[in-house]
Structure formats: structure tokens, C-alpha cells
Structure 1
Amino acid sequence: MPKVTYEKDGRIARITLNRPEVMNAIDDDVPRQLSAAVARADADDGVHVMLLSGAGKAFCAGYDLTYYAEGNGAGEVTQPMPWDPIKDYRFMWANTQHFMSLFRALKPVLCKVHGFAVAGGSDIALCSDMVIMGEDARIGYMPTRVWGCPTTAMWVYRLGPERAKRMLFTGDKITGREAAEMGLVLKAVPDDQLDDAVEEMAARMASVPVNQLAMQKMMINQPMEATVNATQRLATVFDGITRHSPEGINFKTRAEEVGWKQAVEERDSGTWDWTANEPLPKTNR
């Protein structure tokens, strides 16, 4: 069973993250299969628009922490010390480029977010050209609290520096409604109207000739392309450092001891001191 499915529906290529049993969490295969689907759609003269979504209850829960935090995955996201930063960088940079296939494709990508798009899942969504969310869906990058830096850096390009800092200094999750008001996504609609809103937008864009769509996308993306590569390289280096810092090692150790769900709860609630690797005094919370 493919972990990313592809279906051509008239002028629309439907690309779907397909690990619903784990909320479409990212493993070693998902980034590669995603970029392959994007390349397939981009090469098809009959496709005008890509529609990216997630199967099941959510768009994407981010990296599969059972696979990466409790285990290690093929990329060895936490290595024995002393760690090899280039080995880490090579693995994460490849994933970043797979996600960025959405941005670099000639044809527009419309992303539908229901449930949530968090951590690495937000990286995928925000590499799309436009995002429509359900009003009650959630988006955020909680690993900025410990054990992560968003390697695509799309937060700053969509929000500007101050609002990006508001999100990445806290690791908060916000609703689709808040994300639209902040300018992070195109718009949010009531959850029961999400499918119709996305289909209407996809059909409207699909009525435009491919060359017109491609030229507009390249022209609009050009100012970002002038700096995005350098920003993403820095973010990818920092992502590796966050996982091999004292706090990052303590987070992985804690996840191995108590399971990733409890470790994530302690991270997101701000109840754990990751430097000392012990509960944070209540006066400091």
C-alpha cells in the first residue's frame, strides 16, 4: 500500500498522504513518495493543479515519533556522541527538498488541512502554494520547544519576522481561524464546508491554461527563491543541533523512558526542565 497515493481526476492531480492509522505521520518513505507524486503531476500535460490532502482524521501529525524518538529511523536522527553533523544534514536536507518539490513544481499546489498539520506536517502544508483549513483544524510547530527547527523555514516567509517569532518562540498550535487571521494560510472555513471550498478553488484554477499558471507561480516565487535556499540550509543545520544539544538528548532519553506521548505532553505543557531533565518548579511554569 503506497504511503502517498496519486489519482488524476480530469485536470486535477489528487495527492494524498496515506498513513491514516498514524495520522499520516512522516517516516523515511513519505517524503520520497510525496516528491515522486509531485513530479508525476508536473510531467503530465493534462494536469493543471495539484490538490494535496491527508487520509483519515488529519492532514499530518508530523514526524512519526514512535519511529524517530523512541527508535531512530534509517536517518539516525539522534546519533551517538560525537555526532556526525554532515550525516544528519544529508538526511534532513533530502527531506526538506522533497517537501520543497511542492514549492518548486511548475503547477500550483492547493493544500487542504483538516484535523491538524503539526510539526513536520506543517512543513509540508506550508510548502504548498495555498492552504485552506477547517476553522477548527490546528497548525503549529511544537518541536521548537525542544528537539526541532522547521527546516523549510516557511513560517517566516508567510508570516514575517514578528509573527513567525510568536509561533516559534512558543511552539503553540493555533486554529485554522487564527491561522487565516494571521495570514499564515489563505482562508479557513467551517469544517463541514472544507471539501466544497477546496474543490471550488481547485476547479477555478484548473480552468486556466497550464502555461499561465506556471508563469504566475514562477514570478511570485522568485523573490522568495533569492533567499530561501540559504535560510533552509541554516534551519536544517540548526534542526540537527537541536536534536544533539543537551536538551535534545534529554528529550530523546525521556521519550525512551516514558514513551513519546508523555514526553511530548511534558514538552508542550512546559512542565519539564530539559536542561536538568527533571520537572520544572511550578513557580517557573
Structure 2
Amino acid sequence: MPKNLYEKDGRIARITLNRPEVMNAIDDEMPGLLAQAVEQADADPDIHVMILSRAGRAFCAGYDLTYYAQASTGGGNQVTQPMPWDPIKDYAFMWRNTQAFMAPWRALKPVLCKIHGFAVAGGSDIALCCDMVFMGESAEIGYMPARVWGCPTTAMWVYRLGAERAKRLMFTGDKITGREAEDMGLILKAVPDADLDDAVEAMAARMASVPVNQLAMQKMVINQAIEATGIMNTQRLATVFDGITRHSPEGLNFKARSEAVGWKQAVKERDTGTWDWTLNQPLPPSNR
């Protein structure tokens, strides 16, 4: 089964993240397949707008931690190298993924993202690179690896939220609901979960009636205002820092803990603040 499905529906291209058995977690292939699907829609003169959504109950659970964090060999070596590590090797791998996540942003045609369930960690990077994001009110979005083992390489949190609200989420790694995300200005709209499909379809249909050249010109002007601030420089720094987070003492301890007890337990300890990653031992209750 392909990991990304592509369907042409009149003037709308439908791109689906398709690893439902692992909640569409990111592996080595998914970023490139996503970029290819976006490029295919962008090159089709019949397509006016794209909708990016998911198969299964969640948009994207982020990087596949069974593959990257829990395993002591294989895919895990892509993101945690033996020490001393090679920063450029790490940067090359993650920069390719960052640029693939940015495919919806770079496309000439608008891309709508539809979030059911949750879009977390690297999944939030994918979602926030789209032009408009719709969420179910109970869906969740967040970048929990900000607590340890990650830095959002696309940096879209700050461009959508501004400095203070981005810091509020990056300093805690908290998840927020679709309703909170709309109230903060992170996404365009949150609607009752049962109404999400209809809301996205209505917006796509409205936009699809606009000539492709008009859509492209408006998007290019608006994106240029962001790009002029130096977004690529910020993303390069974030991608370097992402590698450092995974090869810092705390990052290596998180990887070792994932191998020892499984990534689900390690993530629970990270996200609840019950583990001291510097000493690699439980945090005293008084410090939690």
C-alpha cells in the first residue's frame, strides 16, 4: 500500500498520508513521497487547490519512534549517530526532510490541511507548512520533543504565532486543542469534529472557482512577505539545533531510555516531566 495516496477530483487534488497502522508516523520515505504528490498537483493545469489529510484516526504522530528512537540499529542511526557524531551528515538528512515538509508552502497552488485526531512533533511541521489549517475542535497539535530530542526544523510555530506564544509552547512542549489553536492564531479554523470534512470541502470549492494564475500570484506575494524575514536562515539554524538536541547528553539519554524501556514509556516520562534527562534517572517529586 502506498504511504501517500494521490487522487484527482476535478479541480481539487487530494493527498493522503497513508500509514494508518502507525498513525501516519514519518519514516525515511514519507517526506519525499509527500513532496512528489504536491509537485504532481502543482504541475497539473486542471488542479486549482490541494487538500492534505490522513488515513485512519490521526493526521500524523510525528517521526516513527519505533524506527528512529527505540531501535538500537537500522533507522535509528539516521537520527542518532555513534559518537563523535558528524553534524553535516545529520544536517543533510534532516534538511532534505525539512524541504520536503515545505513543499506545500513552495507550491504555486494553495494547500489546505485537515487535522483529525492529532498532528504532533514532526506531524505539526507538515501541517503548519500548508497555507490554511483546519482542525476538529478536539484534535490536538503540539511539538512535545521541544522538551528533549527535537527542535521544529520548519520554524513555522514562530511565523504563525509570534515570539511570545511560540515560546509558551516550545518552552513546555504542551499540546493544545483545535479550539485553542484557533484562539491563539496558530490555525485558520476549528470546527466540531463531525463538521470538519464539510468545512474543508466548502473552502476548497470556493477557492477552486478562482483562476490558477490569480491563486498563484496572491500566494507568492503573501509568502514573499514571510520569506523576506529570512525564514530559510531560521530553518537552517533550527535544523542544526535539531541534530544537536539528539546528540546532546540529554538527547542520548532519551535514546538509551527508549531502547531500554520502549519509546512509549520514554515519551511518557518526557512529556509528564518525571525524568531527569541530564542524570538519566527519575526526577524527585519535589522538582516535578
TM-score, normalised on structure 1? 0.99
SS at match of 2:130: coil
8 Å CA contact 2:38, 2:104 repeated in 1: yes
Give the counterpart letter for 1:179 in structure 2.
A
Identity %: 79
8 Å CA contact 1:75, 1:88 repeated in 2: no
TM-score, normalised on structure 2? 0.98
Among 119, 129, 132, the residue aligned to 2:131 = 129
Moved over 4 A (4+): none
CA distance in 1, matches of 2:157, 2:192: 24
Residues 260-280 of structure 1: CA deviation (Å, up to 9, x unaligned):
000000000000000000000
Residues 160-208 of structure 1: CA deviation (Å, up to 9, x unaligned):
0000000100000000000000000001000000000010011111110
CA distance in 1, matches of 2:9, 2:197: 15
Matching residue of 2:175: 173
CA distance in 1, matches of 2:23, 2:129: 19
CA distance in 1, matches of 2:152, 2:52: 20
CA distance in 2, matches of 1:256, 1:249: 11
CA distance in 2, matches of 1:280, 1:271: 5
8 Å CA contact 2:67, 2:75 repeated in 1: yes
Give the counterpart letter for 2:67 in structure 1.
Y
Among 133, 150, 153, the residue aligned to 1:151 = 153
Matching residue of 2:2: 2
Give the counterpart letter for 2:41 in structure 1.
A
Counterpart mapping for 1:63-102 below 5 A: 63-71=63-71, 72-73=74-75, 76-102=78-104
CA distance in 1, matches of 2:111, 2:78: 31
CA distance in 1, matches of 2:238, 2:24: 24
CA distance in 2, matches of 1:45, 1:174: 38
Among 236, 240, 244, the residue aligned to 2:239 = 236
Deviation, 1:223, is 1.6
CA distance in 2, matches of 1:248, 1:223: 35
8 Å CA contact 1:96, 1:152 repeated in 2: yes
5+ unaligned residues in a row in structure 2: which ranges?
A: none
CA distance in 1, matches of 2:210, 2:59: 27
Number of paired residues? 285
Deviation, 1:143, is 0.1
CA distance in 1, matches of 2:22, 2:138: 20
Give the counterpart letter for 2:16 in structure 1.
T
8 Å CA contact 2:67, 2:76 repeated in 1: no
| RMSD between superposed Cα atoms in Å | 0.7
Counterpart mapping for 1:1-285 below 5 A: 1-71=1-71, 72-73=74-75, 76-226=78-228, 227-285=230-288
SS at match of 2:24: coil
SS at match of 1:111: strand
CA distance in 2, matches of 1:241, 1:207: 46
5+ unaligned residues in a row in structure 1: which ranges?
A: none
CA distance in 2, matches of 1:171, 1:11: 38
